[in-house]
């Protein structure tokens, strides 16, 4: 067994060591009294702040809960198509001394419809370029109405983008007012009727009118920006052959608005496909008096009883000839025609159409920058202060048997993996006093 004297000796040594350390601690504390007090004060303050913040957080949470219970939840009105509108807004460069593009509003939930484009005009400020209602009124137009079942109301909203065909397709039968029956390469197609041409039901503007974008990307910059919408259109609800994707890109800058459409056949069989854009351009002056139109088309599509005859008729020497570089005054001319055989001028990037509103001193120039754009449809009436312009890759009534034996004469045919591109540039410019284009 261990000797008890050893235990007492160890205890005495341990006790002495503890007393020695206590004396050293008290001596250090006395010598550093100021630092010790500062440390203890800071520690106490930190503990107090943490506790007080936690207390306030609990009170704020309680107050927030009470307010949320007292305040009714206000639901924002839905955007057209259920997706929020995208607005590209830019800062003026010339401070109102020259015409500029100011903003562009697009609707991803309605096939990326270019709903409105705002201009800044000298002495007038912000002026709408497109004939379109307010967003609130647009929502009301499309609130479950039967007329909008297939997106027909989009034809009245700004500038609809058209796919998989542009313009109109008439029915081969007149006994079904709600459907358009047609066929392509022996395959029957049933499309929704959106109107009548005479007594013939027609389907206008394609099937992208009511489609929601699968993805939207936008890059907003001080001088404008870009917006890109992608649509996995597939077979357009079983109404169209094959499977297709559509990409739409819009770009806004001070003097230009550009639009690019790309369609790709993702399926395993050929598909007829057309692309178009139909801006409803408001005349800045509000009247057609003095409006001059320039259109570089050598022919127009001949129609009979709302159907294509398969002939492109020369416009030279007729009231439909707008090829003069200085343009032609519209006067009382009423147009509902599709023009073809488009020609590019010297140094132009493509066929150029111009609307010159001499009363306001403003011109709108549109350049078809893709050779695939081969037709321009025009609608204008002396009683309206707008001109509707459709830039199309296909002719109206594209499936008509009146076209040549080449069944792609009326519309492009995309083989599996092929793409169709459409690109247009819109510009605004000031007119000299004589209404002629600037040099």
Q: How many CA atoms lie within 13 A of 203 on its CB side?
A: 29
Confidence of residue 227 (pLDDT cuts 50, 70, 90): very high
Query: What CA–CA distance (Å, rounded) separates 181 from 278?
Result: 24
Q: Which sequence spans correspond to the domains of the chain?
A: 4-70, 80-430
Pick the CATH number of 80-430 from 1.10.274.30, 3.30.43.10, 2.70.98.10, 3.60.15.10: 2.70.98.10
Span 77-98, pLDDT tens digits: 457 778 888 999 888 876 778 8
CA distance 205 to 390: 10
Phi, psi of 140 (to 5 degrees): -65, -40
Lowest average pLDDT, out of 313-317, 331-335, 420-424, goes to 331-335
Burial class (CB in 10 A: 0-12, 13-18, 19+), 268: exposed
Angle between helices 33-70 and 4-31 (to 10 degrees): 80
CA atoms within a 13 Å half-sphere pointing along the CA-CB vector of 147: 9
Please check the confidence at residue 8 and state whether its pLDDT lies above 80.
no
**Across 330-348, average pLDDT:** 90
Evaluate whether 212 touches 181 at the Cβ level (below 8 Å): no
What pLDDT is recorded for position 71? Answer: 37
Instruction: Determine if the peptide bond prior to 164 is cis (ω within 30°).
Output: yes
pLDDT digits (tens, 9 = 90+) for 123-175: 889 999 999 988 888 887 776 566 677 777 788 778 999 999 999 999 988 77
**CB-based contacts of 145, cutoff 8 Å, min separation 6:** 153
8 Å CB contact between 400 and 421:
no
φ, ψ for residue 146, nearest 5 deg: -65, -30
Rounded Cα distance, 172 and 154, in Å: 25
Is the model's pLDDT at 402 over the cut of 90?
no
Q: What is the pLDDT of residue 161?
A: 96
CA 185-247-110 angle, 5° bins:
90
Q: Is 318 helix (H, G, I), strand (E, B) or coil?
A: coil
Q: Which DSSP helix (H) or strand (E) runs through 63?
A: helix 33-70
Query: How many other CB atoms sit within 10 Å of the CB of residue 177?
Result: 11
* Secondary structure (3-state) at 77: coil
Neighbours of 307 (CB within 10 A): 17
Min mean pLDDT across 246-260, 334-348, 360-374 is at: 334-348
pLDDT band at 39 (very low <50, low <70, confident <90, very high): low
Return the DSSP state at 300: E
Whose tokens are 């009170």? That residue is: 59
Tokens coding 49: 């702040």
pLDDT tens for 249-301 read 999 998 899 999 999 999 999 999 999 999 999 999 988 888 999 999 999 99
Q: What percent of the chain has pLDDT over 70?
A: 78
Q: Residue 72: pLDDT band by 50, 70, 90 thresholds?
A: very low
Closest CA to 387 of 396, 375, 395, 378: 378
Give the whole-angstrom CA distance, residue 212 versus residue 219: 20
Q: What is the pLDDT of residue 438?
A: 46
73 — pLDDT class (breaks 50, 70, 90): very low
Is the pTM higher than 0.85? The answer reads no
Place of tokens 């006093």: 433
pLDDT level of residue 218 (50, 70, 90 thresholds):
confident
Rounded to whole angstroms, the Cα distance separating 263 from 291 reads 35
């Amino acid at each position: 067994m261990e000797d008890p004297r050893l235990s007492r000796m160890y205890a005495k040594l341990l006790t002495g060591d503890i007393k020695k350390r206590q004396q050293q601690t008290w001596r250090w504390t006395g010598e550093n009294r100021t630092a010790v007090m500062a440390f203890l004060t800071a520690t106490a303050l930190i503990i107090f702040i943490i506790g007080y913040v936690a207390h306030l957080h609990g009170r704020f949470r309680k107050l927030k809960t009470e307010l949320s219970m007292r305040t009714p939840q206000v639901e924002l009105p839905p955007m057209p198509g259920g997706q929020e509108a995208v607005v590209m807004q830019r800062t003026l460069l010339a401070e109102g001394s020259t015409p500029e593009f100011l903003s562009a509003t697009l609707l991803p939930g309605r096939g990326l419809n270019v709903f409105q484009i705002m201009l800044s005009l000298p002495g007038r400020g912000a002026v709408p370029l497109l004939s379109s209602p307010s967003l609130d009124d647009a929502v009301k137009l499309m609130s479950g109405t039967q007329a909008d079942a297939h997106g027909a109301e989009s034809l009245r909203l700004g500038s609809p983008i058209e796919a998989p065909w542009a313009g109109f397709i008439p029915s081969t039968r007149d006994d079904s007012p709600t459907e358009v029956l047609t066929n392509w390469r022996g395959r029957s197609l049933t499309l929704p009727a959106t109107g009548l041409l005479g007594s013939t039901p027609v389907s206008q503007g394609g099937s992208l009118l009511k489609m929601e974008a699968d993805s939207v990307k936008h890059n907003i910059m001080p001088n404008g920006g870009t917006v890109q919408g992608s649509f996995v259109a597939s077979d357009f609800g079983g109404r169209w052959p094959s499977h297709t994707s559509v990409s739409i890109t819009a770009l806004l800058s001070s003097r230009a608005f550009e639009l690019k459409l790309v369609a790709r056949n993702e399926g395993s069989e050929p598909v007829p496909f057309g692309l178009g854009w139909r801006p409803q351009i408001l005349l800045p002056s509000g009247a057609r008096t003095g409006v001059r139109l320039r259109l570089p088309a050598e022919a127009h599509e001949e129609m009979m009883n709302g159907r294509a005859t398969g002939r492109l008729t020369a416009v030279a020497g007729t009231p439909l000839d707008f090829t003069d570089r200085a343009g032609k005054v519209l006067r009382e001319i009423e147009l509902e025609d599709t023009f073809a055989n488009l020609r590019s001028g010297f140094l132009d990037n493509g066929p150029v159409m111009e609307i010159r509103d001499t009363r306001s001193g403003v011109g709108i120039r549109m350049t078809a920058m893709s050779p695939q754009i081969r037709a321009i449809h025009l609608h204008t009436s002396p009683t309206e202060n707008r001109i509707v312009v459709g830039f199309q890759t296909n002719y109206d009534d594209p499936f008509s048997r009146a076209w040549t034996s080449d069944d792609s004469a009326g519309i492009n045919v995309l083989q599996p993996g092929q793409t169709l591109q459409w690109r247009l540039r819109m510009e605004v410019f000031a007119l000299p006093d004589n209404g002629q284009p600037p040099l």
